Amino acid sequence: MPQYLKLKKSNCKNCYKCIRHCPVKSIRFFENQAFIVEEECILCGQCFVVCPQNAKEIKNDVDKAKELIKSGAPVIASIAPSFVANYEGLTISALKKALKKLGFADAEETAEGATAVKQKYDEMVEKGEHDLIISSCCHSVNLLIQKHFPEALPYLAKVVSPMQAHSLEIKQRNPEAKTVFIGPCISKKAEAEDYPGIVDCVLTFEELTQWLENEKVELEKTEDSPEEGGKARLFPTGGGILRSMDCKNKDYTYIHIDGVENCVNALREIASGKMEKCFIEMSACYGSCVSGPVIERNRHAFINNTNLVDKYAKDNDFNATPLSDEKMNKDIKFIGVKRLMPGSKAIDEILRKMGKRSPEDELNCGSCGYDTCREKAVAVFNGKADLSMCLPFLKEKAESFSDTIIKNTPNAIIVLNESLEVQQINKAAMKLMNIANASDVLGEQVVRILDPLPFFDVIESGVNIHDKRIFLAEYNRYVEQTLIYDPGYHIVMSIMRDVTEEEKARRAKDELSQSTIEITDKVIEKQMTAVQEIASLLGETTAETKIALTKLKESLSAQS
């Protein structure tokens, strides 16, 4: 399947919101990024709508439409009837005028094709040959049945969609024409490519709006001619198909279901074989197409949008060009989806790795996006999810890891609230302060075991203290204390490293050094005394020798 819906990897923040809202869980997580599993996706667009990071983007086909216009063939736009919700206050005449400025040869309402479709539905109901008929206008519903509920495939009406019927009408009138459908739906892009040769290009309302803005084409209010319009304009509203039909066969029950989850529940009921003589209008979007995924974001107002469509519709039918039964027939085939269903042992093993060792551990909280822990385990087995997507598992793992560190660290740890009441204390702290049981101090003021003044100072100043050496006189212990205040969690944490032995060793070393210095001073003093005495003796001897030599010199001088 071509990528009609893409993921901008850099913007995915691993929030799992897309998978929580994906009705068929066609999202795969790998390396903290979400990927769309295209073979399972039904292109309902819910992941696009709910993504808080705007990480999903839709295939843009504006260039394709421009190429069709450049080709020289007359390009006619088929405008989905929900356009009055997206472009409030505008008529088909106003859009036709704007589209001609973009190069389109003409623009018509898809509701003209819807008229042919609803007539076909009425014909099927009147014949009464089918016990159960499911409308086939919504391609996302068709994909849901084709991929995930093949047992309901026989009940899906083999009738072209209004988009296809209108394009066939246009080309029947003008064989040279090219058609561009413009609407609020992503899956219509896939439908056009799945049935080539009918619709040449599909644009969303968002694409059209951007194109108009880029070309500086303004939408001007223009009145329709009185004869324009028909009740098939009701198609994009909840129950709009049924409201446009005659529904003459009283043997049938007529039901409309919108929203994929409701459709899934109905299809499960259908699979059980409990329904008969029923015509079911199904739409993937809640409120039908007026709440389509590509109705512009500022136009998501279901009640107002429905009201706008209702007011624009008329009681009569469009003068639609008749189509042959052959052209109205649609071949809707089964699309196989590869699924691996693990055995109970494999599921149990995955659950065990997720910390789910008993049924009581299976919280089924849905934080991972899956409804149950076992569904998540199956997704892990199929490579669509990983163990870390389980929030309770991660929380328990983090708490267990944190508790293991606190319990086994040799450092004494005490956690207080801002009222200086003990909230947590580990074994090392209890040993340091001779506390028999943690319950003896939990909830009590810290003044019972430690000086509260440093804690007050840290809270008031907001300045943490790191590795301050203090003496705990009441415990005869030296510690290096770190005090950390966390205003966000309103706690103060004290971490104390017992350095008593280090302090004793340091003091012993200091005493030894002092004793050595004193002994050295005494030795030096004695040595200095001896030196002085020797020097004194040497000085006297020298003086006597000097006197004797002087006398000898004088005697010799006299004799000469």
Each residue's pLDDT tens digit, 180-193:
999 999 999 999 99
- The answer on 414 and 389 residing in a single domain is no
- The answer on 306 and 160 residing in a single domain is yes
Query: Would 511 be classed as within a structural domain?
Result: no
CATH at 383: 1.10.15
Helices (H) and strands (E) in the chain, counts: 20, 16
- The answer on 77 and 137 residing in a single domain is yes
- Domain that includes residue 383, residue range: 339-408
- The answer on 366 and 235 residing in a single domain is no
Query: And the tokens for 437?
Result: 């049981």
Each residue's pLDDT tens digit, 235-267:
999 999 999 999 999 999 999 999 999 999 999
Phi then psi for residue 153, to 5 deg, are -60, -40
Q: Of 184, 225, 222, 199, whose CA–CA distance to 101 is shortest?
A: 222
Each residue's pLDDT tens digit, 1-34:
568 887 777 667 667 888 888 999 998 887 778 8
- The answer on 208 and 137 residing in a single domain is yes
In this prediction, residue 194 has a pLDDT band, given cuts at 50, 70 and 90, of very high
In this prediction, residue 362 has a pLDDT band, given cuts at 50, 70 and 90, of confident
* Residue found by looking up tokens 């319950």 in the block: 439
Sheet containing strand 253-258, strands side by side = 132-134, 278-283, 253-258
**pLDDT above 90 as % of the chain:** 62
- The answer on 368 and 465 residing in a single domain is no
Compute CA distances 398 → 97, 402, 405, whole Å: 62, 6, 11
Which residues is 470 bridged to in the sheet?
Answer: 479
- The answer on 447 and 392 residing in a single domain is no
- The answer on 245 and 350 residing in a single domain is no
For the cut 90, the answer to whether the pLDDT of residue 393 exceeds it is no
Half-sphere exposure (Cβ direction) of 444: Cα atoms closer than 13 Å: 12
In this prediction, residue 344 has a pLDDT band, given cuts at 50, 70 and 90, of confident
Each residue's pLDDT tens digit, 289-314:
999 999 887 777 889 999 999 999 99
The stretch 163-182 carries a mean pLDDT of 97
Each residue's pLDDT tens digit, 464-479:
999 999 999 999 999 9
* pLDDT at residue 102 in the model: 97
Alpha helix segments (H runs only) across 150-219: 162-173, 187-194, 205-214
Query: Would 481 be classed as within a structural domain?
Result: yes
Strand ranges for 106-246 from DSSP E: 106-109, 132-134, 178-183, 201-204
Phi then psi for residue 241, to 5 deg, are -65, -50
Query: Would 538 be classed as within a structural domain?
Result: no
- Domain boundary residue among 408, 437, 453? 408
Query: Would 121 be classed as within a structural domain?
Result: yes
User: Picking from 112-126, 141-155, 304-318, 526-540, which range would have the lowest pLDDT averaged per residue?
Assistant: 526-540
- The answer on 369 and 249 residing in a single domain is no
CA distance 253 to 78: 32
The stretch 336-344 carries a mean pLDDT of 79
* pLDDT at residue 319 in the model: 87
CA distance 47 to 27: 9
- The answer on 404 and 359 residing in a single domain is yes
**pLDDT above 70 as % of the chain:** 92
Each residue's pLDDT tens digit, 85-109:
999 999 999 999 999 999 999 999 9
Most confident of 48-62, 349-363, 377-391, 447-461: 447-461
* pLDDT at residue 148 in the model: 94
- The answer on 241 and 192 residing in a single domain is yes
In this prediction, residue 349 has a pLDDT band, given cuts at 50, 70 and 90, of confident
Total number of domains in the chain: 3
| Mean pLDDT, all residues of the chain | 88
Compute CA distances 156 → 65, 139, 153, 301, 430, whole Å: 31, 11, 5, 30, 72
* pLDDT at residue 503 in the model: 83
For the cut 90, the answer to whether the pLDDT of residue 419 exceeds it is yes
CATH at 424: 3.30.450.20
At residue 217, what is the residue type? V
- The answer on 181 and 292 residing in a single domain is yes
